[in-house]
Amino acid sequence: MRIFSFIFLLVSFSFFAQNGASGNAVYSFPKIKSSITMPVTIPLSEVTNMINASVKDLVFQDDSYTDNNNDQFKVKVWKTRPIRIVGDTHENILIEVPLKIWAEKGIGTLGVYTYQETTFETVMYFKTGISFKNNWSVSTFTQPMGFKWVKKPVLDFGKIQIPITSLVEKSLKEQQYNFCKTIDQQMAAQLNFQQYAVLAWNAFSQPFQISEEYNTWLKITPINVNITPLKFYGNQIDTNIGIDIFSETYTGTKPEASQPVKTVMNFNFIPLLADQFVLQTTANIPFSEATNIARKTFLNKEYDIRDSKVKITDIKVYGEENRIMIEAETVGYVKGKAFISGIPVYDEMKKKIVLSDTKFKLKTLNIIQKTATLLFKGKIVKMIEDEYGIPTEELENTSKKSIEEAFNKEYYKGLKLSGKVFKLKPNQILLNSSGITAVIDTNATLRFTLKGF
């Protein structure tokens, strides 16, 4: 079933900008734990189509006069129109089977019989209990619920009218129990999801190359699968699927795939899952890009200090422990290197990654200029805090648009998706050896509707 393929594909939405000069080195970025909740709707019309396909138009046929203790009775039973299914409470569905019946009865003695035929219609009722086992299979138990005669069958021999309701009902009751077995067998075969889960699981245990330019890979590891009890309505069956996963990002050499599985882990039944889900991905900004942003903002700019000028002639950005370091070379009134460091945080108002808890250090050989350190510190630190930042607004808008487009498509025939992103923003900001990693939280809803399975 393609639903599971898409579930694992969904968590690969990530946005990366890695340093292309990484060569064959492999960088492993944070192992992100995410949780996805998806309401799943199975229209009962689809279950109806499946049952109608498994039950032929000619339901039953008895072509012998002499069987059943020489009952001198033949009968044929057809569906007059498609079988109808509606949802009931307590994990049951009600099945209505409209039937057309032809019967022929012989009357006589000593082997001499006169035969008369008749055609009539009735409706047969069943109740099927459905339970979803945590090994991805479905269990059903179908019971007969009797008949409703549109017109009771009577053989007309002129002066003799012979009711044959009891004869017909006896045969139909026997067949009704056979129908129960057929329905249960077909549903068990058609609704066993384990094989589809295994195919999807193994397909997506392979790391995905999500950026050819930067040789970036995403590896997904499911942790738990949670499912709420099935809910039955008049025209559909609803449930919620929740998946906890780890996603890992790599650059350089392709990471090793997980070993293929023959069975997928059993899922857990839980009473309730949240309507919205949170998906975490990462955006990685290399220090080379952070340096380019700083140069576009500050390079060759001049600032007034004590009626003199200070000009920034070079600037670069790198990481030092858990802080971003901005190293600026200056000439003029203050000649030397200024080091401004800060902890990166996300500013939602500015839509930028900015520095907090900033610290300042100045290296200069001119002792006289050290008297201007405090004044210069206040000027350049305020400038960095006010003007420097790594913009994320375009990333947020593009990501939101891309995810919503992906959430509202029919990727495979029979799988309709509809969803909405309510909120998308960087949350935690981390540093690694090659750049800055923003952990992006996506709050969204996604609904699956299965058709044509």
Q: Which residue has the higher pLDDT, 5 or 418?
A: 418
Q: How far apart are CA 400 and CA 420, in angstroms?
A: 9
Instruction: Tell me the sheet residues that pair with 80.
Output: none
Confidence of residue 198 (pLDDT cuts 50, 70, 90): confident
Task: Dig out the tokens for 4 from the structure.
Answer: 């599971």
Mean pLDDT across the chain: 78
Q: Is residue 31 over pLDDT 50?
A: yes
Is the pLDDT at 15 greater than 90? The verdict is no
CA distance 69 to 85: 37
Q: What pLDDT, in 10s, does the model give residues 286-304?
A: 898 889 989 988 899 887 8
> Residue 133 domain-assigned?
yes
Tell me the one-letter amino acid at 16.
Answer: F
3-state DSSP assignment of residue 47:
helix
Is residue 386 pLDDT above 50, yes or no?
Answer: yes
Q: Residue 38 pLDDT more than 90?
A: no
Q: Which of 11-20, 26-35, 65-74 has the lowest mean pLDDT?
A: 11-20
| Number of domains comprising the chain | 1
Residue 12 has pLDDT above 50, yes or no: no
Q: What is the mean pLDDT of residues 188-197?
A: 71
The model's confidence at residue 165, banded by pLDDT at 50, 70 and 90, is confident
Within a domain: residue 154? yes
Whether 125 is covered by a domain: the verdict is yes
Is 114 inside a domain boundary? yes
Task: Please indicate whether residue 306 or residue 441 has the higher confidence score (pLDDT).
Answer: 441
For residue 19, pLDDT beyond 50: no
Give the pLDDT band of residue 387 (cuts 50, 70, 90). confident
Compute CA distances 29 → 217, 245, 252, whole Å.
10, 16, 12
**Token pair 């998806």 in the structure block, residue:** 38
Asked whether residue 402 is domain-assigned, the answer is: no
Q: Domain for residue 84, yes or no?
A: yes
pLDDT surpassing 80 at residue 120: yes
pLDDT value at 440 more than 90: no
For position 326, what pLDDT does the model report?
Answer: 94
Instruction: Work out the average pLDDT over 323-343.
Output: 90
Residue 152 lies inside a defined structural domain of this protein? yes
pLDDT band at 372 (very low <50, low <70, confident <90, very high): low
Task: Report whether pLDDT(20) > 50.
Answer: no
d(CA 310, CA 171): 103
Alpha carbons 281 and 440: distance in angstroms, whole number: 5
What's residue 125's pLDDT? Answer: 92
> Which pLDDT value is given to residue 313?
93
Q: Mapping DSSP to helix (H, G, I), strand (E, B) and coil, where does residue 400 land?
A: helix
- Provide the percentage of residues in the chain whose pLDDT is more than 70: 83
- State yes or no: pLDDT of 444 exceeds 90: no
Contact between 392 and 353 under an 8 Å Cβ cutoff? The reply is yes
Q: Percentage of the chain surpassing pLDDT 90?
A: 11
Average pLDDT over residues 30-58: 78
Cα gap 402→394, rounded to integer Å = 12
Is 227 part of any domain?
A: no
How far apart CA 22 and CA 251 sit, in angstroms, is 8
Mean pLDDT of 138-158: 83
Nearest alpha carbon to residue 277 among 243, 301, 311:
243
| Domain hosting residue 108, numbered range | 44-190
Stretch 80-95: mean pLDDT = 85
